[in-house]
Amino acid sequence: MVAITAAGAYAPRFRITAEAFTEAWGQFQAAGVSEKAVPAADEDTLTMAAEAAARTLEAADCNPADVDWLGIASTRLPDAETDPTVRLGAMVGLADDASRQTFTGSTRAGTRALWAGADAVDAGSQLALVVATDAPKGDPDDAIDHAAGAGAAAFLLEADGPASLVDRAEYAAPYPGTRFRTTGEEATQGLGVTQYDRQAFTETIGGAVSGLEVDPDPEAAAIQAPDGKLPYRAAGAAGVDTGAIQAVATVHDLGDLGAASVPVSLVTALADGYESILAVSHGSGAGADALVVSGDGDVPVESDLEGGDTLSYAEYLRQRGVVTTGPPSGGGAYVSVPSWRRSIPQRYRLEAGRCPECGSLAFPPEGACGDCTALVEYEPVELAGEGTIEAVTTISQGGAPPEFAEQQGQSGDYAAVVVALETEDGTETVSIPAMGTDADPSAFTVGDRIETTIRRIYTQEGVTRYGFKVRPAE
């Protein structure tokens, strides 16, 4: 039997309310959604995956190098053709020889990944990390876009633990056109035939649940939530009461999380200590997975789903890059992909170097030692990702270097800081220049504590550069 031994979840801090959409469009088509999470200009499904994975590893107090299987699920990966598990593994510190799989194609992908992770543990993997992350998009005046939120969830799976996957089943029936995105298109679409969509949803969910060998009798039910009403319409088919769904529903405050919908609700159920949980996904096409989780209610969880700033509709469009002009031509500092790759240990894992001659720290660990001027091979030292602001300034429109200008146009003013990052034992620091995240620049003040996180830096030659930024410490 396979068990969940730790879990984590993350949602962006920006929110937009149903009222903001109503003011802009005269209506809001996402039934049952009061507000939804919005990714910042420097966030995407990969950075959200890294946030959720890091929280899960922290909750488990787990050495990332011990993870030997990684799965990521999303309908909206940053690139149409590249392996996201490679970058994600590097961001969170997995070993290079860990097995990896990617799941996409429908909102069912999150439970598909969880299912595959369980199979990997059954087949001999010692520790599997499963991450589901998504940020759906639709046409601006469409119900899919009105509901579309953003978030990520992650789970550690082992052979034994506090929350066992005691049963699982799947079901599929052809319902073309219920929800789809054609190759090369940005917006997810649907035919909008209400009765047809409901039939596909309830039939596949009911079919998956009826295939279970155990009676789930759940205290909580994590049901796929394209909006805030459809999961409740499937209560009868799933054999649960609406209270069990509402107990862990995240759609009302975060919106439609796509492939992360059921995983984030499952993390919520684990965080709230529920001991009997039914998780049922639905994916267009149409198919469904049903999983039964049973345990002692004592799974360690690190979850950050709280909102921060509320956006106007114009600010929402700007964060999504709909109303910006794009990057200026020429003038940017060119850094080749091979050069950027050499700096990945510093940008992802905050790897500094110790001079073997004088013992001082250097970041980045290259060139002559700043203290003793010796040309040496530095000894790697991983920093803790926490520190104190030593200097700060605000970069406003027109002040950003050209490679950052497009993102600055989306996010607005941002902070540029010098921070003293600490070693793991907190006894030493090294000063490092860094960019602030989407937080208001006024939130960064000399002497304040900060923490690092992985975000998008900029894109050149069609390749997005990711690296650490800093934000006010929680």
What is the tens place of the pLDDT at every residue in 430-457?
Answer: 999 999 998 788 899 999 999 999 999 8
Whether the CB-CB separation of 350 and 469 falls below 8 Å is answered with no
Please tell me the predicted confidence (pLDDT) of residue 231: 96
* Range in 147-156, 281-290, 337-346 with the lowest mean pLDDT: 337-346
The two tokens of residue 212 are: 């279970």
Stretch 278-296: mean pLDDT, rounded?
A: 95
Chain position carrying tokens 């001082």: 360
Highest mean pLDDT among 253-267, 382-396, 408-422: 253-267
Stretch 242-266: mean pLDDT, rounded?
A: 97
Please tell me the predicted confidence (pLDDT) of residue 153: 98
Per-residue pLDDT band at 60 (split at 50, 70, 90):
very high
Per-residue pLDDT band at 411 (split at 50, 70, 90):
confident
Angle between the N-to-C axes of helices 84-92 and 45-60, in degrees from 0 to 180, rounded to the nearest 10: 40
Please tell me the predicted confidence (pLDDT) of residue 22: 93
What is the tens place of the pLDDT at every residue in 6-43?
Answer: 999 999 999 999 999 999 989 899 999 999 999 998 99
Fold category of 2-319 in CATH = Peroxisomal Thiolase; Chain A, domain 1 (3.40.47)
Per-residue pLDDT band at 308 (split at 50, 70, 90):
confident
Q: Whole-angstrom Cα distance, residue 272 to residue 25? A: 37
Please tell me the predicted confidence (pLDDT) of residue 331: 52
Query: For the chain, what's the residue count?
Result: 474
pLDDT of residue 406 exceeding 80: no
pLDDT of residue 228 exceeding 80: yes
Mean pLDDT over each residue of the chain, to the nearest integer: 92
* Range in 73-87, 166-180, 408-422 with the lowest mean pLDDT: 408-422
Stretch 150-154: mean pLDDT, rounded?
A: 98
Query: Where are the chain's structural domains?
Result: 2-319, 337-472
Question: In one letter, which amino acid is 151?
Answer: G
Q: Whole-angstrom Cα distance, residue 390 to residue 386? A: 13
What is the tens place of the pLDDT at every residue in 265-277?
Answer: 999 999 999 999 9
pLDDT of residue 281 exceeding 60: yes
Per-residue pLDDT band at 326 (split at 50, 70, 90):
low
pLDDT of residue 216 exceeding 90: no
pLDDT of residue 111 exceeding 70: yes
Whether the CB-CB separation of 185 and 179 falls below 8 Å is answered with no
Per-residue pLDDT band at 190 (split at 50, 70, 90):
confident
pLDDT of residue 249 exceeding 60: yes
Q: Whole-angstrom Cα distance, residue 225 to residue 273? A: 21
Per-residue pLDDT band at 370 (split at 50, 70, 90):
confident
Per-residue pLDDT band at 166 (split at 50, 70, 90):
very high
pTM over 0.85: yes
Please tell me the predicted confidence (pLDDT) of residue 330: 54
Q: Whole-angstrom Cα distance, residue 13 to residue 201? A: 30
pLDDT of residue 385 exceeding 80: yes
Output the DSSP codes for 124-152: T-S-EEEEEEE-----TTSHHHHHB--EE
Stretch 330-347: mean pLDDT, rounded?
A: 82
Q: What percent of the chain has pLDDT over 90?
A: 75
pLDDT of residue 394 exceeding 60: yes
Please tell me the predicted confidence (pLDDT) of residue 324: 60
Please tell me the predicted confidence (pLDDT) of residue 325: 53
